Structure 1
Amino acid sequence: IDAGIRWMNNNIRIHTNPGAENSPYLLYYLYGLERAGKFTGQRFFGLTDWYREGARFLTEGQSNIDGSWPGDNGREISTAYCLLFLSKGLSPVLINKLQYGPRDPQSNRISRPDWNRHRHDVSNLVDAISIRKDWPHYLSWQTLDLQVATKGEGVMALQQAPIAYLSGDQDLDSITEEEVTLLRDYIQQGGFLFGVQNCESTAFDQGFRHLIIRMFPSGDYQLRKLEKTHDVYRAETVFLADPPELWGVDFGCRTAIMYAPYDHACRWDKWMRNDSARANNEIRAQIGKSIQLGVNVVAYATGRELRDKLQRPNSQIALSDSETRGQLRIGRLKHSGGWDTAASAVSNLGRALQEKARVATTPDSPVFSANDPALFACPILYMHGRKNFSFTQEEATQLKAYFDNGGFLMADACCGARQFDESFRKAIHQIFGQELKPIPADHEMFHSTQGFDVRQVKRRIPAAGQNTSINAEVTAGEPLFEGIEIKGANGAPDRYVVVYSKYDISCALERQQTLSCAGYLDDDAVKLAVNIVLYALYQ
């Protein structure tokens, strides 16, 4: 198999059959290429993204009249090969199995296969997931060389799968600083890293823990042992007592890095669809428990919401810091209820405004206390959180003056947090002496004239008891926002100065939602946030 992969790496072609340049069996070869890529987990042969390039080649050659494909095998057979390539290769990629390790200086090949100690671990785990009731039946996985990703598409290479998987039985010193930066950017843009120790290796355990320090040297994000009450232990199978040990790093409301200091991969490697023939019941139970844990981690990381292979993630365009005059600056309102829970939400909103609405924004998002006079220089404030908080009367008085002088506040409860919601409503009554009121779904801020037509959006509604698995229903309907509207000055129309959602927007902006996060789905949350900011600017 390794020799075959090396041959394909050196000889990959899309427009011709590399085995016979003038062969009439090009489409048969492409179907074979798809099978080889799928079964070996290769996203790239050499530097060629075989599915993306192959899909482009085939769709360009498709008949505009009847949708078929011509070929030397006859139109019917040729069309069948093309459809097999496109349909089977399109299955969602669940996991990128990361390739790393010391390299041969002449060939640049990885010389020590630490990353692949258990060859069938990920393929078996994905196969086990694909036969479960609430998952798509066609799922795939792929290997991804960190060096190729670093020199090629960067973060977008990792973003083709929601989970990056890192395992081994040696240290991780061969992972370069550029690759460490790539992993950090992937996490900060909504990715998920799952590390699994192989063969009870102390070297890998220490290496993975040190990798986290290399990724986040400031110490703001640290690896901690997960509590038994963590959502991952109820994401699919419920582990009521003595759950397998996991460690994690939290980003906002979500644990975006998980680490298993036990070789579950060895058990995944031994899993079989038909396990009834296995004589040892104890071994079968151990394998089953490790599979259940793996499924739970995948369910937690993805929320069972998967993208197809051709769906490109939103690019993270850089915010320029060379010139800030004329650029929109969105401030963050500081409070004691978790004001920085979704730390990247505002910067990601700024990128979305630049990319989707051509609104220039500053790279920084200054933080203001409610009694800071400097907040009057910031036309829009953003506020979110999870816990209880309160404002002093001095802070409430200054915020009222801020709104009277043209200021605007956009706010949401992270993951639909009830404590924050209750505190926010009390704070609004303290400031304005009135309650929040529903904003009609036909209001201009939800129309395409403001940016996007978001009069119908999708929202996640978690449903779980204390000892049951976490499930979430996705419902489509009108956006549910509330606000405070004040009279316009000098005959100007009335305007909203506060727009609030008791359902999550912030974690969605970070792409860090989980199954237990009550809020709008990622794409709709971005559109809603963009529309609200545009509304504030145009008043």
Structure 2
Amino acid sequence: MRDAMRPGCGVNRFRYIRCILLLPLFCCVSTLRAQDIHPEDVSRAIEQGVRYLKSKQQREGNWVEGSHAVGMTALCTIAMLSAGVSRDDPAIVNAMQYLRRFRVGPDFNQNYSIALQTMAFALCDPERDRPLIRENVRQIEEHQTFEGPNSPANGGWTYIYTGRKAGQRGSDNSNAQFSILALYEAERVGVSAKQETWARARNYWENCQNANGAWGYTPTSDGSTGIRASMTCAGIASLMISSGMTSQDGAAVRGDQILCGLPAQNPSQERIRRGLDWMERNFSVEENKGHGGTYLLYYLYGLERVGRMSGQRFIGKHDWYREGTAFLLKRKGELNTHWSDNLGDLSGTSFALLFLSRGRRPVLLSKIEFGTPGDHSWNMHPNDVDHLTRFVESRWKIDLTWQVVPMEPASVEVLLQSPVLYLSGSKSPLPNDPDRAAAWAAKLRGYLDGGGFIFAEAQPNDVSFDKGFRELMRQVLPEEGYELRLLGAEHPIWQAEVTIEPDRMRPIEGIEYGCRTGVVYCRPVKKETGTGNRPSLSCLWEVARPVERDDPYPEAVQRQIEAGLGIGINVLTYATNREMKTKDRKMLEAAAQVLSDVEQRRGQIYLGLLETGSGAGSAPRALPNMLQWAGVHLGIPVDVRADKVHFGTDAVFDFPIVFMHGRGAFTFTEEERTRVAEYVKRGGTLFVNAICSSKPFTDSFKEEMRTIFPEEEWTLSAVEPDDPLLSDVYGGFPIERLEVRVPQQSPNRKMRVVDKEVVPELLGIKVADRWGVVFSPLDVSCALEKTNSLDCKGYTRESAMKLGINTLLYSLGHM
């Protein structure tokens, strides 16, 4: 862990998120639906854009458009790297060789080019190009404008570097934005600018903001310059970055002490809020407000940055990524291979690629905003989730993002677009109004049913959040068996990614839901006699430093931070199994999930889900997912709902196929045993599997079958590999081997899942010439549930789907 998150200087350099998190932005359903955007269409458009850029690359490795040859080459390189092109790709290798030829001097002194070159160095191979990054940062700082006292241009940048001695004069907000972005990208890879540089930049952006919250192209002392949406995005993002670098965090390290819950102070917060208010009032993806259709793709490039850096999925009522993506796909069209605007084809295509690729980064988790307007108790440590995400990125080697979601207006569909919801704070998350509390509970239940994961934490010595969260969970999961229980040392959250030493463990509770622990809760830690409070995880994430610094924390402090980050990444690893999906794909799946929940499809065949006391509710979407897939891909007219049945009534005979699964030991009553026997002998099919390959359930099921069918010819026997059930005779799949997910701990003590090919392992009871009972001791349900779990052995999703579909078609074929 030390290599991934090294200690550093006393000032936390990544605080820009705070100012946006404190803003009362509320989301609602966008006017564009998720089904308007298909991930394949986005991927195809990105691939076409990359191919176009490669086709226009010159023999020397550069691109030519306008007067900024180096800048254009750097922009195309950044766009392709962001779109997923490897740094070892010949196009990138040649481009970087070209860029490394240029050093700041009389013949290379254009600010745009120097800034973009710095960003390309930082993005592609920062270790190799660190000396070049460091020199460029020095040059950018040296050429920050200073015209004398009270000049509105002070702290900005302009087109040409003239040098301090010549008197660097003039600023414009476009050049100033690119310099800020270059310094920011350098900061992310460990090359820091001076505090006075950031302070001057912050003052510049504050002073040139228009009274209505917007920014124009040039600064004026009275802020009367013409406004533009593109420059307003530049102002918001630049002020978030520069003010974040010079503001107080929600936590700090003083000697050997970690101070948590400090009042975060950002003097630019109100200005950023006004800028976002202007964006909300004037939001458009089809127009660069104040400039019409001019520089439109450049504006979208800035819009993506505001949305991504802020963590806000919505700007007002607008889902900026969804609407922007739909517009870009429409603007390019099916026949075109690239984008174009007034800046040119190369610039337009690069800006479009940056919007599409960076904006679709997988969402790792969403931080839930709750409470009354203006109450920021949900956000005591504003940078916690950002720093944790940065740490996960460094370990998983993948670009990720996070977002803030206000709970009140969020729908289940919105919540499902994030694999993890994070709740923390110093006040109760449970609304006082019973109706609102019930609505919250219903949404969170829908989120859990859809495969979501809740990660919550109370602050040390907290009472209000702890009491409220426990009551909220009781309302979300009122059924017996869904209580919060302490997670033992054997649980994967202590070793899924990194091993947490016993002395760094803390009391963490969980609720088993679905095929895994679906809720993880860090309960408040009480102060021990003669000791200070153990910092909360969010506090430790807040003080963590994403890049290596020269001034390390004390060893005792660093160990605490590493343990806090370790627990955080372990929980996220357990929740996601490191299987992240791009934002557009999550949108599509979330919409499909909600539509399947409300869709009432008439069909000819109805299937039942058997209720038992052994965890029948552990995988509520397993059967609907299988049936929905069968309906869509095989044209089987089945109802996508899983109607619950039990063998205590004659209603079970209305279902030709009954699906049963469980995790714990169970027993049938005598009445149920009688109906099971009668159901099977009448021609019904009982399809059963052990959730997560549970041995207690398997043992119980086998014992019940021996009791119900004592005759020798009715005993459970193996389904042979050449059986018609495993063939395509009934329209299914020819199955010779299936893949099984096997949890393992790697030599470096990291948990992982290994896929192994096996001969299908099925048992059954035959009635005349057909299988009346089909049993899989390996898990099928959790795979069908689409739940990522590190500790659940069973078939892969594809194998489970094949096995389930074959059993369904086999059963229908014998009706």
Q: TM-score range by the shorter chain?
A: 0.7 to 0.9
Runs in 1 of length 4+ with deviation above 6 angstroms?
323-326, 390-398, 451-457
User: CA 1:170–1:487 in structure 2 vs 1: closer, same or farther (change >3 Å)?
Assistant: closer
Report the more deviating stretch, 438-447 or 13-22.
Answer: 438-447
What percent identity do the matched residue pairs reach? 32
Describe how 1:21-40 pairs up with structure 2 within 5 A: 21-23=292-294, 25-40=295-310
Task: Provide the C-alpha distance between the structure 2 equivalents of 1:452 and 1:143, rounded to a whole number of angstroms.
Answer: 44
Residues 531, 51 of structure 1: alpha-carbon distance in 2 compared, 3 angstrom cutoff: farther
- Measured against aligned partners, the alpha-carbon deviations of 1:77-108 in whole angstroms (never above 9, x if no partner) come to 11111111111112111101112221xxxxxx
Instruction: Give the helix-richer structure, 1 or 2.
Output: 2
Aligned partner letter, 1:298: L
Q: Whole-Å Cα distance in 2 between the matches of residues 454 and 121 of structure 1? A: 48
Residue correspondence of structure 1 range 328-367 to structure 2 within 5 A: 328-332=606-610, 334=612, 338=614, 340=616, 342=618, 344-345=620-621, 348=624, 352=628, 356=632, 357-360=636-639, 364-367=643-646
CA distance in 1 between partners of 2:281 and 2:801 (Å): 42
Question: 1:188 matched to which residue of 2?
Answer: 449
**Structure 1: which amino acid aligns with 2:331?**
G
Answering whether residue 656 of structure 2 is matched by residue 379 of structure 1, we say: yes
What stretches of structure 1 of length at least 5 have no aligned partner?
103-109, 489-493
Q: Please, which runs of 5 or more residues in structure 2 have no aligned partner?
A: 1-239, 241-271, 525-535
- Cα shift at 1:452: 7.8
The superposition leaves residues 202-242 of structure 1 with CA deviations (integer Å, 9 ceiling, x where unpaired) of 22222212221232345552222222222222222223524
Assess, with a 3 A threshold, how the Cα gap between structure 1 residues 44 and 199 changes in structure 2: closer, same or farther: farther
Q: Is contact 1:388–1:423 with CA below 8 Å preserved after alignment?
A: yes
| Shift in CA distance, 365/319, structure 1 to aligned 2, threshold 3 Å | farther
Cα RMSD between the aligned structures? 3.6
Distance 1:8 1:453 in 2: 56
Who is 2:545 aligned against? Answer: 272
Partner Cα distance (2:515, 2:334) in 1: 48
| Counterpart residue number, 2:349 | 79
Tell me the TM-score normalised to structure 2 length: 0.57
2:807 aligns to what?
532
Shift of 1:187: 1.2
- Counterpart Cα distance in 2 of 1:218 and 1:424: 24
Which residue among 497, 508, 528 is the counterpart of 2:783?
508
Structure 1 residue 329: deviation in Å? Answer: 4.1
The within-5 A match list for 1:120-159 is 120-132=383-395, 135-149=396-410, 154-159=411-416
Q: Distance in 1 between matches of 2:731 and 2:334?
A: 36
Give CA deviations for 1:44-103 in whole Å, capped at 9, x if unaligned: 11121111221121122225456211221111111111111111112111101112221x
Contact 2:540 2:564 (8 Å CA) reproduced: yes
Which residue of structure 2 lines up, in the alignment, with residue 226 of structure 1? 487
Kindly indicate whether the alpha-carbon contact (under 8 Å) linking 1:416 and 1:519 is maintained by their aligned counterparts in 2: yes
The aligned length equals 514
Q: Does 1:20 align with 2:291?
A: yes
Partner of 1:282: 556
- The 8 Å contact of residues 647 and 672 in structure 2, kept in 1 or not, is answered as no
Deviates more, 1:37-46 or 1:200-209: 200-209
Give, in whole Å, the separation in 2 of the partners of 1:409 and 1:454.
20
Q: 1:65 to 1:422 in 2, by over 3 A?
A: same
- 2:369 matches 1:112: no
In the other structure, the counterpart of 2:511 is: 249
DSSP 3-state at the match of 1:148: coil
Q: Which amino acid aligns with 1:344?
A: P
1:131 is paired with a residue whose SS is: helix
2:475 maps to what in 1? 214
Q: CA deviation at 1:445?
A: 6.4
The DSSP-based 3-state class of the residue aligned with 2:285 is: coil
Paired residues of 2:298 and 2:351 also in contact (CA < 8 A): yes
The residue aligned with 1:107 is: none
Does the CA contact (< 8 Å) of 1:428 and 1:436 recur in 2? no
Equivalent of 2:690, from 403, 413, 423? 413
Paired residue type of 2:350: A
Please say which structure displays the higher CA radius of gyration. Answer: 2
* More deviation, 201-210/34-43: 201-210
1:130-154 deviations in Å (ceiling 9; x for gaps): 111xx242111111122331xxxx2
> Equivalent residue for 1:106?
none
Alignment of 1:274-313 (within 5 A): 274-276=547-549, 277-311=551-585, 312-313=588-589
Distance, in Å, in 2 between the alignment partners of 1:217 and 1:419 is: 25
Letter in 2 for 1:9: E
- Is it true that 1:95 corresponds to 2:359 in the alignment? no
Range 295-304 or range 180-189, more displaced = 180-189
Please tell me whether the aligned partners of residues 628 and 640 of structure 2 are also in contact (alpha carbons under 8 angstroms): no
TM-score normalised by structure 1 residue count = 0.83
The superposition leaves residues 91-129 of structure 1 with CA deviations (integer Å, 9 ceiling, x where unpaired) of 111101112221xxxxxxx32122222111111101100
- 1:371-392 CA-partner distances (Å, limit 9, x unpaired): x776545422222233456779
User: CA contact under 8 A between 1:250 and 1:256: conserved in structure 2?
Assistant: yes
Match of 2:742 among 454, 461, 464: 461
Partner amino acid for 2:284? Answer: R
Distance in 1, matches of 2:775 and 2:760, equals: 9
Letter in 1 for 2:753: A
Q: Secondary structure at the match of 1:471?
A: strand
